[in-house]
Structures are given as C-alpha cells and as structure tokens.
Amino acid sequence: MGREPDYLAYLRARLAAEPPAGRKGITQIRDEHAADLATLPRPPVEVVEDLTIDGPAGPLPARLYRPAAAPSPSPALVYFHGGGWVLGDVESYDPVARALTLACGITLISVGYRRPPEHPYPAPVDDAAAAVRWTTAHAGRHGIDPARIGVAGDSAGGQLAAAAAWRLRGDQAPALQLLVYPAVDLRTVPPDLPDPDGLEFPRGGLARILELYLHGTDRTLPEVSPLLVPDPHTLPPTIIATAEHDRLRPQAERYAQRLTRAGVDTTLITGTGLDHGFLGWGSYARRPAEAVAEIGAAVHARLTRRR
C-alpha cells in the first residue's frame, strides 16, 4: 500500500535534503549521518546519565535513560544503535534512544560499541555481549531488575542484539530481544522492494559496508546471520518490528517465522506503510508515531509481566 499523506510529505522533504552523492571518506559520512540525526527532537526524559562500561578491549561509552513512569526496580533494555555498523554513536542516537525509552516506559542503556573499519567483526558483537553482562552485574547500582534485562537494536544494531542474544543463550540469556528492522541475514545484499510512491532512496553501498564489517568472515555463522542459528528454541522471547517498504523486511519476517516454529514466544509488529529508519520519526507523522508506541507497549507488557 502507499504511504499516508503526511508521512509521504515528510519522506519527500527528507530525501530532498540528502547530501549530494559522491565519493566520500568515512569521516565525512559519519559527520553527515550525525548531522541528520541532530535534526531529530530530543524529548525530555527524567533521568539521563552518562556511564562507562567495561568492554573486552577497554571502556565503552554508554548513556542510561529512565522515564518518570519506570517501575522500581526497573526492567531495562541494553540498546545498540543502527548506522550500518560503521556509523552512529551514543550522542548521535540520543533522540532515538529517548523516543524508545519513553515508548517502553522502562530504563534503557544505549551502548557505544566499537565500529568498523577500525574494528571489524567480532569486535562489535564482543562489545554487545560484554555490555549485557556488565548491566546485569551492575543492575542494583542503577536501579535495574537483573532478571528483566533485554537486548535491543535497530538495523545493524538489531543484528548485534540478535548476535548477543545468541552468544548469551543459556544461563546468561537476556529476558527479551527487541529487533527493529534488523539485518539478520548477511549472506548477500538484499534487493530493493518495489516502491508504491516512486521514491528513490540512496543505495548506501551496503556491499562495501558488509565487507568492512565482516572482513572476510564466514557469513553463515550464527553470530553474523542470526537467521541461521541452528537451535532457535534456545533464544529468549522476541519482538521484531519491520517496515513495509524496507528491503530487510523479508529476512526479518523469515526470522520471526523460524523462531515461532521453534516455540519461541515471538511478536511480529508489521510497520505497514513505513520505511527503514522510522524509529526516530514519530514527531513528524502519525504512522511512525503509532508504530513506535506499539513497539513500546509490547516491550513494556513483556518486561513488566508478573512471573
């Protein structure tokens, strides 16, 4: 189906403001990505506190968010931002983290993991798993319930969250994995989907990005392509949110189907009429705001449910 008028108008304006294409260095691309995210509103959250997490190769920056309505002790999400593994950091994704925190009504810790090309796989996954372990070990100090800590991520961060959930399965398993338009099959670059409104999105050089991230790693490894995990029944309850016009949607749907068939409590939130990246767009149009609220309600219900 086509996009709703207010949302379509926002997307057209967004695409018109895209920086010109051309050959660019990694620093310039990172700066442009951060500048784009800086235009997003930063809704107020009662508690915002910068943290330092013990990572496997040194300290990692992190930021804790807690809304006024959070229970005490609070469930929590350990969140890994998107940006194609190469882009983004805690500061640039602050608007997205705030929106997700308020929607979920619980504590969120946004983690700045190491990025390629400086730090290819497995460094980002190592950092993600270490961040979950650190949060569990320090839960009491930060008003968090250690039994109700989930992992979350959008886009590339969804791949990291799913990989961390796989690595930590068993005694260290998170209570939930929230994956928003995640990349869960890195074997090949997925094809574009037909666009009902004739919009043309930048290709983004995904093939090159995957090369930078994986650096020759076997793409069928479960930590690389979580869709291929051999025993999905060991994974935690899962919430997957997709976007209808996102080329990652088919693989996310296949992952949801595979988890469901394995008996994992799985919720699929279909982002009808939406595009990759909508998590930060709720202030600009009704449809993304509805989807963010639906994601938040599902997370809150799962992590505040009485055992």
Binning pLDDT at 50, 70 and 90, where does residue 171 land?
confident
pLDDT of residue 306: 60
Residue 119 annotated as catalytic: no
Residue 54 annotated as catalytic: no
pLDDT of residue 186: 98
Please write the tens of the pLDDT for every residue from 246-259: 999 999 999 999 99
Please write the tens of the pLDDT for every residue from 39-49: 999 999 999 99
Marked catalytic residue, from 33, 246, 275, 300: 246
SS3 label, residue 148: strand
The whole-number average pLDDT for the span 158-171 is: 96
Which has more confidence, 193 or 306?
193
φ and ψ at residue 271, rounded to 5 degrees: -85, 70
Marked catalytic residue, from 81, 245, 276, 300: 276
DSSP letters, 167-216, are: HT-STT--S-EEEES-----SSPPPPPPPTT------TTHHHHHHHHHTT
Share of the chain above pLDDT 90, in %: 93
φ and ψ at residue 175, rounded to 5 degrees: -75, -15
Please write the tens of the pLDDT for every residue from 235-248: 999 999 999 999 99
> Does the global pTM surpass 0.85?
yes
Residue 74 annotated as catalytic: no
How far apart, in whole angstroms, are the C-alpha atoms of residue 275 and residue 186?
20
pLDDT of residue 1: 67
The whole-number average pLDDT for the span 67-79 is: 97
Q: Which CATH architecture has domain 5-17+29-303?
A: 3-Layer(aba) Sandwich (3.40)
Binning pLDDT at 50, 70 and 90, where does residue 307 land?
low
Share of the chain above pLDDT 70, in %: 99
Marked catalytic residue, from 74, 110, 155, 225: 155
